[in-house]
Each structure stands twice: as C-alpha cells, then as structure tokens.
Amino acid sequence: MTSTGQDQRIVALLDFIDQHPTRPIDRQSASWVVDQIGLSQGNLVDLTDCGQRFMVAVLFESMDNPAGAAELFVLGYRPSLGTPEQLAEAVAWAETKATRSSARCLEVSIPPVLMPLEPVLRTQGYQLMYRLLTMHLGHVAPPNDLAVELPSDLGWANLSEDNVRSAHDCYRRAFAGTSGTQVPDLELFRSTILKAEQTPRVLLSGDRVVAFSRVAWHDEQAGRGEIRAVARDPDFDRARLGQAALLEGLRTLEQLGATSACLEVASDNEPAVGLYEKFGFQTQEVAEVFRRTL
C-alpha cells in the first residue's frame, strides 16, 4: 500500500473511532495506537459487515503487566452491525496471535456499548476480573486545602529527551502490579511520549524522575480534559507525590482552557481510586474486564 493509501486508511479508521468510540481516547493517541501498534505490527482488527465497518480494535501483545496479559483493546464499535460469530472470530484471532507471544492470558474490556461481546466471551470461558471506571470531575481548580508543599529539592519540569529514561523507570516501577495498565518498553514509551501533543510533566529530584503527570484533551469542544496518568516512584509511597502529580495534571488542564476532567482507572486500584475520590471525581461509567488463560 502507498503511504497515501495508508494515510487514507488511518483517517478512515480514526473517523470511525471518533464516530463510534468505546472509551475516552484522544485522536492523537488513537492515531498512534492504530498506526504504530495496529498497522505496523499487524495487530489491527478491522471488521466489516457487508462492506460497513463495525469494529476497530488493536491487540497489545507484549506489554509489561502483572498478569502477563495481552489485551484486545476495542477502540471503536458500532453495535447495530456484526454477528456474534464475527465477534467470536475476532477474539479467536487475537488469542491465536497472543499465544505466539509471551502472553499468558488475553484480556478484553467491555464498556456498556460493547455488551454484545459479553456473551461471546463467557461462552469461550472468559471470566470477569475487575472493572474499569470512567470518572469525571466538573471543574479543574482543586480546593486550596488539597495543595501540596513539595520539599525544596523537588521541582516540576517538562518531560524531555534528557529525563525520558528516568521517567520510564518511574512509570514502570509505579505501575508494576496495577490492573488495567499496559507498560510499554522504553523504546515504545519514548516514541509515544516525546511526540505527545501535551508534553507530560515530571517531578525531578536532581536527575531522577520521582513522579509523572500526563494529560490530554478528551473533548476540546466540550472543554473536557483527561488525566492520562499520574504516578509516583514507589520509594515515595504516601508522601503526597501522587496528590502533587494530580494537582499538576489539573493545573496543566486549566492552562489549556479545560473546564472539566475525566479519567479511567481500574476499580481494584484502591490508592488511585482513593486519590481521585479525594479530589471529588465521580464514577460515570463502568466497563467490565474479562480474562482467559491461554
């Protein structure tokens, strides 16, 4: 395929995801996932029924997560089309591919719009493991009593080539053992994060990144920003760095002009859910995450 043909296909896939989204994802991230992981690595599921597209999904097969899980990540889905047999075929394809990688199991998350997939998964022996919460906050200016006074040797900076390795280390160590997170290797992390439209912020202690904050637009027209990730190095557990990272994220969103915020978090990630609830985030939607051992 020519690069122009490829571009047109990506645009068509992204337009479909925009029109039939299954979860909060900004177009830039969707573009990166579809292009870099889906198309370039041959991990794209692009399903049509009588010429009409009804599902776009990407298989993440070699990420670092506690369950050794590959994830079938459905980005766009039009519920009125597609038969259970077609969905079952897509899952079977993902299983076959994941089996060839080092994955020990396959995870599929089902937001409400993807409910037709649930009986298909249950029939194939998938079990509900945890829930993925979409949480919202109706403002981005936190009350003063949540302000954090940082030690004088710590300071926020933009993520850059100079600190990306340490940022990856902080991110990887923070998210180890956390449900619902796929930690990319350094190369993948670097190529995504350095190109992010909103530059992530890192909290530095000298050269060492000790906390991380990343935001993006979720829906710019509606003024809704998204907290994509907050994390602190586990050496600094409960030292208010997570709270400082969330404050930094909200501050960045406020500077962008956002008036509300949303995020996704696994229901069993008690520290993060506790942090978000402390700031007033409320659950608006629940997706169920199913898993099957391969």
Interface residues with ligand COA (CB under 6 A)? Answer: 174-175, 178, 229-232, 237-243, 265, 269-272, 274-275, 278
CB of residue 73 to ligand COA, shortest distance in Å: 16
Q: Of the two residues 105 and 275, which places its CB atom closer to ligand COA in the complex?
A: 275
Q: Of the two residues 55 and 244, which places its CB atom closer to ligand COA in the complex?
A: 244
Q: Of the two residues 67 and 294, which places its CB atom closer to ligand COA in the complex?
A: 67
- Closest residue to ligand COA, judged by C-beta, is 242
Q: Of the two residues 46 and 233, which places its CB atom closer to ligand COA in the complex?
A: 233
Q: Of the two residues 39 and 262, which places its CB atom closer to ligand COA in the complex?
A: 262
CB of residue 163 to ligand COA, shortest distance in Å: 17
CB of residue 213 to ligand COA, shortest distance in Å: 10
Q: Are 195 and 188 in contact (CB under 8 A)?
A: no
Which pairs count as long-range contacts for 271-280, CB under 8 Å and 24+ apart, including other chains?
Answer: 271/242, 272/178, 272/230, 272/242, 273/133, 275/230, 275/242, 275/243, 275/246, 276/135, 276/137, 276/246, 278/146, 278/243, 279/137, 279/142, 279/146, 279/246, 279/250, 280/137, 280/138
- How deeply is 270 buried, as exposed, middle or buried, from its count of CB atoms within 10 A (0-12, 13-18, 19+)? exposed
CB of residue 26 to ligand COA, shortest distance in Å: 15
CB of residue 294 to ligand COA, shortest distance in Å: 25
CB of residue 242 to ligand COA, shortest distance in Å: 2
CB of residue 176 to ligand COA, shortest distance in Å: 8
Q: Of the two residues 55 and 183, which places its CB atom closer to ligand COA in the complex?
A: 183
Q: Of the two residues 100 and 238, which places its CB atom closer to ligand COA in the complex?
A: 238
